[in-house]
């Protein structure tokens, strides 16, 4: 039995869905249906039960159902251990999204204390070869599952950095202004880095202990700026002040956790993940997500929600069946999508299967 599960999901005027209601049990949810019926949109709605912009990194305005343009709302009943809570998140005509938990207005950050969610979507197929930003986000999503303060630390850091960047652009040279901001940045930066490093250690350990068809990766936190980033905030603040001249020339902050990157090596072959085959790269991500699940369960007793968009179709039968076994063994409520029901045959009644159909703009979901 998962310790975290969505029991009910009600979506209105969100993307292609005018009105959709899904009641589910703690088992994985396998959603199948033709292209364009709104399967990924359902996963996107689930991803918004956690802080941030969701699987597509879209703005609230982009998620508003067109052509009505009314605004959208997602309501979910979520069970975490024995606690049942109601999460509501919505946007009025595309303005910033708001959140309510058990009828109380809260910030998005509060969602991270309840819903842990990890995802794999087709756009992440190029994660290992694309820019560092995507890998950093992937690492932060894993980190947030262990450390619910991580999102807030990043917000604090980024806000202070924006202020510092403004000073740099205006070529301000007043020592005092920088010092206050750099001290704030350094305090948050140290927490961010410690949390990221700790996450890598936990995930690494959880990979080592398991032998599966999914290959393991050696992971390392690296930084675009080739200097040792101090692990205490005074030294980091000092480093920022040393960088000031260079940063004024660049017009932005060059050193800090905003330039961290995740370096992965395919262990079995000792080949960097970016040079591995497309299939191997995807398998590495699956392996990391599963390791994250095991580590989180061990650490906190919580199994995160998994959103695996179109993952099943790209695995051979053996790996697909291993993936399902692993999901069921760790006991996570995974939300899986695919075009046909045969992709989920191996799950059998270990999952609830949903057929998504689009009835002229009113997408409906049929339980099998």
Burial 71-95 (b: 16+ CB within 10 A, else e): bbbbbbbbbbeeeeeebbbbbeebe
Comparison of 214 and 335: residue with beta carbon closer to ligand ADP: 335
Binding positions for ligand ADP, rule: CB under 6 A: 15-16, 33, 35-41, 63-66
For the CB of residue 139, give the shortest distance to Mg ion in the complex, in Å: 24
Which residue's CB is nearer to Mg ion, number 40 or number 322?
A: 40
Interface region with Mg ion, contact rule CB under 5 A, candidates 32-40, 139-147, 227-235, 258-266: 32-40
Residue number with CB closer to ligand ADP (13 or 135): 13
CB of 123 to Mg ion, least distance (A): 11
State the burial class of residue 308 (Cβ atoms within 10 Å of its Cβ: 0-12, 13-18, 19+). buried
CB 192 within 8 A of CB 154: yes
What own/partner pairs with CB < 8 Å and gap ≥ 24 does 224-228 have?
Answer: 224/132, 224/259, 224/260, 224/261, 225/254, 225/255, 225/259, 227/255
Q: Sign of dihedral through CA atoms 63, 68, 71, 73?
A: negative
Q: Which does 35 bind (CB under 5 to 8 A by kind): ligand ADP, Mg ion, none?
A: ligand ADP
* The only residue of 17, 26, 38, 40 in contact with Mg ion, by rule CB under 5 A: 40
Q: How far is the CB of 122 from Mg ion (least distance, A)?
A: 8
CA dist., res. 5 & res. 11, Å (int): 17
Residue whose CB is less far from Mg ion, 139 or 308: 308
Work out what residue 143 binds among ligand ADP, Mg ion, none; the CB cut-off runs from 5 to 8 Å by kind: none
Nearer to ligand ADP, 66 or 83 (CB): 66
We find the least distance from the C-beta atom of residue 229 to ligand ADP, in angstroms, to be 39
CB of 250 to ligand ADP, least distance (A): 37
Other Cβ atoms less than 10 A from the Cβ of 293: the count is: 28
User: In angstroms, what is the C-alpha Rg of the chain?
Assistant: 21
Residue 36 interacts, among ligand ADP, Mg ion, none and using kind-specific CB cut-offs from 5 to 8 Å, with ligand ADP
50: partner contacted, choices ligand ADP, Mg ion, none (Cβ within 5-8 A by kind): none
Question: Cβ of residue 113: shortest distance to ligand ADP, in angstroms?
Answer: 28
Q: Cβ closer to ligand ADP: 65 or 193?
A: 65
SS3 304: coil
The three-class DSSP label of residue 118 is strand
| Angle subtended at Cα 303 by Cα 31 and Cα 12, rounded to the nearest 5 degrees | 40
Note the residues at the interface with Mg ion (CB under 5 A).
39-40
């Amino acid at each position: 039995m998962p310790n975290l599960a969505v029991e009910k999901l009600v979506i209105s005027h969100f993307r292609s869905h005018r009105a959709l209601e899904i009641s589910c049990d703690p088992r994985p949810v396998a959603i199948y249906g033709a292209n364009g019926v709104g399967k990924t949109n359902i996963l996107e709605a689930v991803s918004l039960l956690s802080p941030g912009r969701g699987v597509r990194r879209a703005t609230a305005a982009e998620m508003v159902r067109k052509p009505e343009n009314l605004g959208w709302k997602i309501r979910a009943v979520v069970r975490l251990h024995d606690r049942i809570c109601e999460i509501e998140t919505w946007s009025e005509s595309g303005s910033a999204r708001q959140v309510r938990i058990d009828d109380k207005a809260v910030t998005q950050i509060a969602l991270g204390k309840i819903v842990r969610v990890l995802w794999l979507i087709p756009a992440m197929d190029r994660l290992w070869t694309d820019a560092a930003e995507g890998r950093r986000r992937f690492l932060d999503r894993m980190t947030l599952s262990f450390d619910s303060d991580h999102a807030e630390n990043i917000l604090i850091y980024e806000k202070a950095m924006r202020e510092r960047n403004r000073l740099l652009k205006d070529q301000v040279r007043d020592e005092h202004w920088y010092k206050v901001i750099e001290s704030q940045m350094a305090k948050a930066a140290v927490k961010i880095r410690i949390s990221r490093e700790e996450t890598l250690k936990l995930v690494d350990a959880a990979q080592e202990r398991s032998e599966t068809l999914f290959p393991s990766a050696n992971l390392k936190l690296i930084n675009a700026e080739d200097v040792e980033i101090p692990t205490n905030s005074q030294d980091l603040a000092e480093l920022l002040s040393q960088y000031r001249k260079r940063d004024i020339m660049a017009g932005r902050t060059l050193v800090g956790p905003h330039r961290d990157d995740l370096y992965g090596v395919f262990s079995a072959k000792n080949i960097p993940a970016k040079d591995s085959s497309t299939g191997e790269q995807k398998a590495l991500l699956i392996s990391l997500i599963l390791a994250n699940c095991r580590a989180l369960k061990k650490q906190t007793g919580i199994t995160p929600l998994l959103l695996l968009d179109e993952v099943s179709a790209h695995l051979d039968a053996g790996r697909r069946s291993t993936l399902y076994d692993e999901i069921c063994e760790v006991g996570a409520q995974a939300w899986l999508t695919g075009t046909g029901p045969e992709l989920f045959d191996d799950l059998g009644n270990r999952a609830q299967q949903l057929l998504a159909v689009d009835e002229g703009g009113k997408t409906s979901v049929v339980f099998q």
